[in-house]
Structures are given as C-alpha cells and as structure tokens.
C-alpha cells in the first residue's frame, strides 16, 4: 500500500523519536505520519509501539458499522459533535477492509466531517486494511494504539462492508454500535451475518421516516431470542435523526451505560486482553511466516513444495520440516 | 464442522490403513470417509496424507466459478458427461466458502448431477470450508489430494461466492474456468473482482439467449487490456448451452489446449509448486499457532496480553516473547 500523505524521501530521513514525541503531544501531522507507517507495514513500527506502550490504554474504542445508506458517516459526525461538546478529544478511524486504497478517498466526500477537520481536538483518518497480512486484526489495532497514545479519549472506528468486516470491527471495540435504517430490512440482514450477537447498542437512524417503528420492532423481536442470564447486557435500541443531531445524546448515554457495565463486570479488561492476545498472535504469526520466507538451503519452502508435488513427502511432513527449521535455528 | 456422513462412533474405531487402501482402490465410500476427516480437521489426516503422497500428482484440477444463475452446476454436470465419454474418471468438489455447513446441501438439489451419482467413475462431494483456519487454502487441497490419489483423472472444483472465493479457487486449479451468462453484466463484475486476471478459459453459457454476443464482446474488450507478451496464454471465450450439452466439446478442447500450454511452458509445475508451498505454509502456521495456544506459565499468551493492556510492553515485544517461547522450547 502506497502512502499518499508522505513522500518516500521524507519518510526515509524521519527522526522517529521526535515524531513520536510530537504525536504524544497530540500533533495531528505527527499522528498521521505514524499511521502511515502502519499502512506501509514499516519495520520501524516496532520502535514506535515500544515508545507508545506506556501511554496507551486510556481511550474508549467505539465500533460503528451498518449497511451502506444507513447514515454511518452522518452518525459518526454527529457523535463527534456530541463528544466534543463534552470536551473530549476524539479520534475517527474509517476502515475499508475491501479496498486496497487508503488516504482520503473514504472520507473525502464527507461534508459533515469537514466541520471537524479544522478542530485540533479531532483526529480523522481513513485506512485501508486489505493489503496487510491478517487485515483488520493486524493493522487497525496499531492505528488505534497511536490515536490512544496521542490523547484521543474516544475513538470511533467505522467500517464499511458486510458480514465478516462488521464482525471483525466488533472484536476491536469496547462498545459496538450497529446502525440500521427504516425499510432496509437491515435487522434481518444483520441477523444473517451474525451481527446481532456482536452489537452492544443499536441505532435506528432516519427515525423520522416511515418504517422506523417496524425497524425497532424487528430488532426487538430478534433480540428477544438472545435473552441472556441475569446481569447480561441487553443492547438498547436508540432512535436518531443524525442529520439533525436528534437522539445523539441518547446514544452517548447508552454508550456510557455500556461502558459502566463493562467496567463493573470486568468485561472491559477481558475484551481488551482478548484483543491484545489476538494482536500479539497476528504479529507473531507474521514473524514466523517471514522466517519461513527467509529460509535457504534444502529445507526452503519451494524445495519442500517441489518434493510434495513429486509425491516424495506429504504436506504435513513438509510442514514439520518447515517449522523445525525455524524453531531449531 | 460436524460430519453428517459418518457417525462419531464409527469414526472413532476406524481402521485407517484399510480405509486408505480402499480409497486408493477408488471405493467411493472410503473416499467420502477420508474427506470427512478433512472437514473435521482430524489429527489423523497426517497419517492419511503420508499414505496417499506417493499416489498423488496425476489429476488435472479444473476450477470453475461464476455468479449465481450463470449455470454452474449444469455446466459441471455437462463437463462430467463429456469427460466420462472420453473414459476419464472424474471428481467433483463443490466448495462453499461462506457456509459453515457441509454434506449434501450444496449438491442435493442438482437433478442433473444425479445422472452421475450412480456412476462408479464419478465422485461427487460438497464441502464447507469456512470453519477451517485458512479456509480454502487449507482444507480444499487436502480433499483434492484424496480424490487425486483415489484415481480421479480430472477434478472439477466449483465454488459459489463472489470475489475473494473466486480468486482463491483459481489458486487451487491448474486451469480456471470463469462462467458468465448473457445480460448479467458478469464481465464487468468479474473485472471489478479481479477475476479476469485469473481466468484461463471463459464460458458464455446460455449462449442461445439474447445478449450472448454482447457478453462475448464485453469480455473480449476487457481482455484486450490484458494482452501479454509473446507466448502468453490468451484465454479463449467459448459459447455453451450446457443444458443441451452444446459447446461442451469446445470447452474440453480449450481446457486441453491450456493444459498443453501449461506443460510446454513449465507453468504447470510452477503452479503446482506454488500451490503446495501455500498448503505447507498454511499447515505450518496452524501448527505454530497451536503451539502458541499450548503454552503455559509466564509467557502464555493471556499473560502477555495482560501486560500489553497494562502498557507494560508493546505488542511487538510480546510477539517476540511468544515466538521465542515456541522456538526455544
């Protein structure tokens, strides 16, 4: 993935410790440069993450997903407005798992977001994830870590896409908001894609339109199947007209209530630990895979593959040799 | 993934060497049992693959993909008929990467395929792949290996799904056939999804319908962008009416010509070696990942994750510790 926001020459000569210091001070350009390193899968990320580690863990991560047309970007902009009114610093990360392109494309046409573009308390970034090994599981947590260390108190992660991507965004967030709109049959789609299970808060946006009551009822009917044990979280359904900022306060209240539930039950720590475990594992597997590629001599992967094609060994024995060559080095 | 074709009890007591012998003799029930082991991700697959290895490498793998409604199953049935008329033993593997279910669902309603169901020279199987780590990259090659060893001279791999799945099936096959139908805008869809690049042969099915000429022209226009160097393969466009067996002979001729090109250029060996390398790597990564999960003590993944959440270490350092704990064991 090319990085449209920084010329290669300037990146090559970058003073990384200074850049990290500036990012920790919340300087937007420095934050942007560091996220570009994530998109580039830069080997220097290791240094960056080591320097940022002590400054992470404070941001609340809110995932936001839904089908195209439900008003995701309008809702994100409305939430940013509401969080800013509370005086909180906000990060917005829009992830498009299906696009190999990054930079401004995803957010470029978002007029409402541009209200926030000049606010030093808001950091907005879109990011591609497809090119990376492991996709969302690898790149997005790194970007979140950068925003967190840079002082974002709330980070909104928005994904476009269907099914898998929406379930993945949930695994990144403390609180996952699923948006639906009247008349789109979203509730049924969401049920099919396994999204109902991952939602912590539902928003029925465009609630001034016909069919809003039906959408709420559909969701409620489907959620009743999922009644959990005593003390379980029951995802509230909030109506909004995000374009007029209506109901957005209720969303913030629902998110706040969910956060309190997460903290009081220990679920917050559990979710974050699971997330970190997945992130560590993804990095570790990428490292092992890189070692596979670095091997030379008789046990190199192409040689093993040739022997499998010739029927000399089976793929499991070949895999044993490959793993042994890495672990016994 | 549960295996609907064999009861757990019978699997537990299975005489694997005898089962492998029967599969090598081409006995259909034995082949089915072995593929069920793949779906179950059985630890005994290792034994199976070791025994089968010397008997593999003869089958030609033909991938077949296209949007729903283009007539994929009818075309597969027509191709089976044509290959059987040549006296070749045929395997059919229908892979549904989006489905966690396996067994007969995918092929159950295929009337045309049932003509072949009682032919001992045809082996038909549908298979889910979603549940497996690595999906197609892991499970499908194992099933192909079983069919190959059991004596299938031609194996048709059919995938349903869009985009990623279609590109993946191409990576499994010696020859990839992409089906389109008139009036579906398939050529444009295919171009978007990156499928034009992976097609070795195009079929315009339902060629007796209005719009067939347009479909052929659309494909031709888009392919002209991809003119390769001298000696490169230019994917032919074949018209068929698979339901009446029309044009199917032309498809076989195109597949045969492609196979000759693959052999004469060394591309066949290259493709198969790449495929085996990907398979070995997927198995090796799964093994390493299993070791991560097996770890105990201070370096266990959850403990590392807890330290990352607390900001004590960064995820890269944690990944280093995880890899070291596996490689220095």
Q: What is the pLDDT of residue A30?
A: 94
The answer to whether the Cβ–Cβ distance between B280 and A306 falls below 8 Å is no
CB A126 within 8 A of CB A94: yes
CB A68 within 8 A of CB A160: yes
* Helix axes B136-149 and B267-294, enclosed angle (nearest 10): 120
pTM: 0.73
Higher pLDDT, B160 or A258: A258
Min Cα distance B13 → chain A (Å) is 23
State pLDDT tens for residues A122-173: 998 877 655 444 445 578 889 999 999 999 999 999 876 545 555 566 678 9
- The single-letter DSSP state of residue B241 is B
Given 3-state DSSP classes, what are the helix, strand and coil percentages for chain B, each rounded to the nearest 5?
55, 10, 35
Rounded-to-integer distance, Cα A316 and Cα A305, Å: 11
Mean pLDDT over each residue of chain B, to the nearest integer: 82
The answer to whether the Cβ–Cβ distance between A56 and B311 falls below 8 Å is yes
CA dihedral of B97, B101, B103, B105, whole degrees rounded to 10: -90
Q: What is the percent of chain A with per-residue pLDDT over 90, rounded to a whole number?
A: 46
Mean pLDDT, to the nearest integer, of A50-57? 94
Q: What is the percent of chain A with per-residue pLDDT over 70, rounded to a whole number?
A: 77
ipTM of the complex: 0.80
Rounded-to-integer distance, Cα A275 and Cα A235, Å: 21
Is A240's pLDDT higher than 80? yes
Residue of A315, A318, A327 for testing the chain B interface, max B β-carbons within 10 Å = A315
Among A37-46, A110-119, B129-138, which is the least confidently predicted range? B129-138
Could you tell me the pLDDT band of residue A207, with boundaries at 50, 70 and 90?
very high
Confirm or reject contact between B122 and chain A (CB < 8 A): no
Q: What is the pLDDT of residue A269?
A: 93
Burial code (b: 16+ CB inside 10 Å, e: under 16) for B10-22 equals eeeeeeeeebbeb
Which parts of chain B sit beneath pLDDT 70? 1-13, 96-112, 128-137, 160-170, 186-194, 225-230, 294-299, 328-329
Q: What is the pLDDT of residue B327?
A: 73
3-class state of residue B179 by DSSP: strand
- Chain B contacts of A310, Cβ < 8 Å? 57
The answer to whether the Cβ–Cβ distance between B322 and A284 falls below 8 Å is yes
Q: What is the pLDDT of residue A160?
A: 64
Report the alpha-carbon angle A142-A144-A145, nearest 5: 65
């Amino acid at each position: 993935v090319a990085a449209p926001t920084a010329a290669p020459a300037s990146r090559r000569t970058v003073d990384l410790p200074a850049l990290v210091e500036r990012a920790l001070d919340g300087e937007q350009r420095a934050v942007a440069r560091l996220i570009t390193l994530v998109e580039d899968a830069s080997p220097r990320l290791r240094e960056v993450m080591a320097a940022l580690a002590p400054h992470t863990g404070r941001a609340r991560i809110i995932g936001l997903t839904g089908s195209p047309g439900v008003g995701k970007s309008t809702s994100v902009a409305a939430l940013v407005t509401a969080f800013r009114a509370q005086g909180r610093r906000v990060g917005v990360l829009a992830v498009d798992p299906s696009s190999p392109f990054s930079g401004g494309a995803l957010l470029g046409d978002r007029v409402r977001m541009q209200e926030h573009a000049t606010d030093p308390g808001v950091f907005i970034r879109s990011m591609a994830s497809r090119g990376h090994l492991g996709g969302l599981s690898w790149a997005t947590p790194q970007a979140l870590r950068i925003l967190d260390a840079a002082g974002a108190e709330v980070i909104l992660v928005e994904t476009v896409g269907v099914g898998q991507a929406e379930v993945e965004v949930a695994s990144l967030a403390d609180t996952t908001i699923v948006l639906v709109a009247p008349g789109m049959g979203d509730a049924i789609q969401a049920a099919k894609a396994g999204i109902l299970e991952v939602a912590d808060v539902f928003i029925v946006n465009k609630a001034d339109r016909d069919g809003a009551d039906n959408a709420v009822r559909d969701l409620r009917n489907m959620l009743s199947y999922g009644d959990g044990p005593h003390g379980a979280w029951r995802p509230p359904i909030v109506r909004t007209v995000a374009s007029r900022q209506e109901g957005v306060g209720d969303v913030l209240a629902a998110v706040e209530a969910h956060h309190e539930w997460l903290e009081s039950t220990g679920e917050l720590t559990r979710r974050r630990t699971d997330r970190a475990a997945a992130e560590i594992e993804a990095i570790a597997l990428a490292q092992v895979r890189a070692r596979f590629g670095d091997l030379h001599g008789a046990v190199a992967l192409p040689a093993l593959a040739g022997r499998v094609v010739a029927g000399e060994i089976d793929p499991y024995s070949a895999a044993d040799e490959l793993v042994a060559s890495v672990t016994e080095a």
